[in-house]
């Protein structure tokens, strides 16, 4: 949201169509279209998306200036129309209006979930979910080979299952994917469906008069699936409330407990939250924390499979630090500079939230050969993604910086390193490094259009 003063300062940009403005000029990959407009309009220009005035910032210098001088003016958010289903907008952190309610919800989540009081317990859960993924991979390969196939696994799906299950463990202390968990399976399906609808671009966000139209039924489907997801979470919450009533001592063990401490009778004022808000925040942790993390690891694997020499280099580094038998631990991350460079390069080239939460900057001029995957550019460089280096902002910066940054940092490194250290990866018949499809599917998050599949092989060193 812009103040009137800032609105008047809207910089010039490409002329748009009457009423619709530049909405249809953005195309299927808006972040790439914006990059192409830069030579003509400079690093800062304005766009009219229907009735919404937007400022695009595409240089490190302008982003630095923006965050240092105007972060406060731009720290409000506009909730996409799709997320008004079931009053989602009233509880959300990611799309919430800037103010005391947002601040309080964010504080509870970052303290309880991400700075985690029980640091060792959270580390154990991360380890467990990643180990489970390795087990599922082995089971899938065995099943595929049993069918006489070459043993390809759908890495995209297995990574998503891992990060989804991790959020379930951290926020609800529930293993949602444990076989036989009916609620878990239903919740997983409903979540997936909501994300499909949320990914669709929606003219109603930019042209309020069109918000009553629903030609392809997206809104109707969203209401239905969001309703299913919220109902399942609301049952989880009810169960916990009942458990707490019976418990003698109440100890905060996860995010749900922490949120429930702020509800209930006698709680009033800015410090209190409603039951519905608890449910929405829990759901949001799954939206914000699962696909973002899994997609980043998937892109990193795709880039490494395209460049076998880089794959070899990162595997050798891990092997040097852990030896062939020991598992990679989170405490190894600091000693794996090449792995860190691979992740930074992945987040530079494939930021999973490229545009749709505002304030993210892409800055090709800062980088030599910007479209090439070259982790080496980060070796010996102090550039990091914590929001202070404005040429690399995959998690945003300022007051609305990603709340899950430290969790994502650990899971992405440990997850990728464990995949690489557990198997030797091959592409299989009919595909070679040069032909891996790297197209994007753009929405709230940018995923690989074609989910990555690869064959995990017994490591050469184990086979010897």
| Binding residues for ligand HEM restricted to 96-115, rule: CB under 6 A | 106
Question: From the list 22, 59, 397, 422, which residue makes contact with ligand HEM (rule: CB under 6 A)?
Answer: 397
Q: Choose one: 16-24, 56-64, 258-266, 352-360; the region binding ligand HEM (CB under 6 A).
A: 352-360
**Rounded to whole angstroms, what are the CA distances from 423 to 216, 339, 351, 402?**
44, 16, 26, 32
Does 165 sit near ligand HEM (CB under 6 A)?
no
Number of residues that bind ligand HEM (CB under 6 A): 28
Helix (H, G, I), strand (E, B) or coil at 382: coil
Question: From the list 226, 407, 417, 420, which residue makes contact with ligand HEM (rule: CB under 6 A)?
Answer: 407
- Site string (79-98) toward ligand HEM, x via CB under 6 A: --------------xx----
- Joined together, the tokens standing for residue 365 give 């001029």
Does 408 sit near ligand HEM (CB under 6 A)?
yes
Does 199 sit near ligand HEM (CB under 6 A)?
no
Which helix (H) or strand (E) element contains residue 425? strand 424-426
Q: Are strands 453-457 and 424-426 parallel, antiparallel or unpaired?
A: antiparallel
Does 400 sit near ligand HEM (CB under 6 A)?
yes
Q: Are 343 and 412 in contact (CB under 8 A)?
A: yes
Q: Choose one: 135-143, 193-201, 237-245, 407-415; the region binding ligand HEM (CB under 6 A).
A: 407-415
Question: From the list 177, 191, 362, 403, which residue makes contact with ligand HEM (rule: CB under 6 A)?
Answer: 403
Q: Choose one: 49-57, 178-186, 405-413, 433-441; the region binding ligand HEM (CB under 6 A).
A: 405-413
Nearer to ligand HEM, 66 or 140 (CB): 66
Does 343 sit near ligand HEM (CB under 6 A)?
no
Q: Which residues of 255-269 are buried (b: 16+ CB within 10 A; e: fewer)?
A: bbbbbbebbeeeeee
Q: Are 143 and 442 in contact (CB under 8 A)?
A: no
Q: Choose one: 18-26, 249-257, 403-411, 415-423; the region binding ligand HEM (CB under 6 A).
A: 403-411
- Joined together, the tokens standing for residue 18 give 């009457």
Q: Tell which residue, 381, 139, 176, has the closest CA to residue 286.
A: 176
Does 296 sit near ligand HEM (CB under 6 A)?
yes
Nearer to ligand HEM, 141 or 258 (CB): 258
Q: Choose one: 154-162, 267-275, 290-298, 366-374; the region binding ligand HEM (CB under 6 A).
A: 290-298
Helix axes 182-199, 218-246, angle to 10 degrees: 140
Write the DSSP string, 19-61.
TTBTGGGS-S-HHHHHHHHHHHH-SEEEEEETTEEEEEE-SHH
The DSSP 8-state label assigned to residue 444 in this structure reads S
Does 328 sit near ligand HEM (CB under 6 A)?
no
Does 353 sit near ligand HEM (CB under 6 A)?
yes
R_g over Cα of the chain: 23
Kindly list the residues in this chain that would bind ligand HEM in the complex (CB under 6 A).
93-94, 106, 167, 285, 288-289, 292-293, 296, 352-353, 357, 359-360, 394-398, 400-404, 407-408, 412
């Amino acid at each position: 949201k812009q103040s009137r003063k800032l609105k008047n300062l809207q910089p010039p940009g490409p002329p748009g169509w009457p009423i619709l403005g530049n909405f249809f000029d953005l195309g299927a990959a808006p972040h790439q279209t914006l990059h192409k407009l830069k030579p003509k309009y400079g690093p800062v220009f304005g766009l009219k998306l229907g009735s919404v005035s937007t400022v695009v910032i595409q240089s490190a210098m302008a982003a630095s200036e923006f965050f240092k001088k105007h972060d406060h003016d731009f720290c409000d958010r506009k909730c996409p129309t799709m997320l008004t289903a079931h009053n989602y907008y009233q509880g959300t952190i990611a799309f919430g209006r800037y103010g005391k309610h947002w601040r309080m919800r964010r504080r509870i989540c970052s303290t309880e979930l991400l700075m985690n009081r029980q640091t060792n317990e959270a580390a154990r859960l991360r380890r467990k979910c990643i180990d489970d993924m390795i087990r599922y991979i082995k089971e899938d390969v065995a099943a595929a080979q049993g069918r006489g196939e070459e043993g390809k696994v759908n890495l995209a799906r297995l990574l998503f299952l891992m990060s989804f299950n991790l959020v379930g463990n951290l926020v609800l202390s529930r293993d949602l994917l444990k076989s036989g968990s009916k609620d878990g399976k239903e919740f997983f399906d409903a979540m997936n469906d909501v994300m499909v609808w949320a990914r669709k671009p929606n003219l109603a966000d930019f042209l309020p008069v069109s918000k009553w139209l629903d030609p392809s039924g997206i809104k109707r489907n969203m209401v239905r699936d969001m309703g299913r997801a919220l109902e399942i979470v609301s049952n989880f919450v009810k169960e916990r409330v009942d458990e707490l009533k019976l418990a003698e001592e109440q100890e905060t063990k996860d995010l749900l407990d922490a949120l429930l401490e702020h509800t209930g009778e006698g709680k009033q004022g800015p410090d209190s939250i409603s039951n519905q808000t608890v449910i929405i925040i829990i759901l949001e942790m799954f939206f914000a924390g699962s696909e973002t993390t899994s997609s980043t690891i998937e892109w990193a694997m795709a880039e490494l499979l395209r460049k076998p020499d880089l794959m070899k280099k990162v595997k050798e580094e891990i092997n040097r630090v852990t030896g062939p038998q020991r598992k990679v631990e989170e405490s190894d991350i600091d000693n794996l500079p090449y792995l860190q460079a691979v992740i930074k390069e992945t987040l530079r080239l494939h930021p999973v939230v490229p545009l749709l939460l505002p304030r993210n900057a892409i800055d090709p001029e800062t980088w030599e050969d910007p479209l090439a995957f070259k982790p080496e550019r980060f070796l010996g460089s102090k550039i990091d993604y914590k929001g202070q280096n404005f040429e690399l902002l995959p998690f945003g910066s300022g007051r609305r910086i990603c709340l899950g940054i430290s969790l994502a940092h650990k899971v992405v490194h440990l997850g990728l390193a464990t995949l690489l250290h557990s198997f030797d990866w091959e592409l299989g018949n009919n595909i070679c490094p040069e032909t891996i499809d790297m197209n994007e599917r753009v929405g709230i998050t940018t995923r690989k259009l074609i989910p990555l599949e690869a064959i995990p092989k017994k490591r050469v060193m184990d086979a010897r």
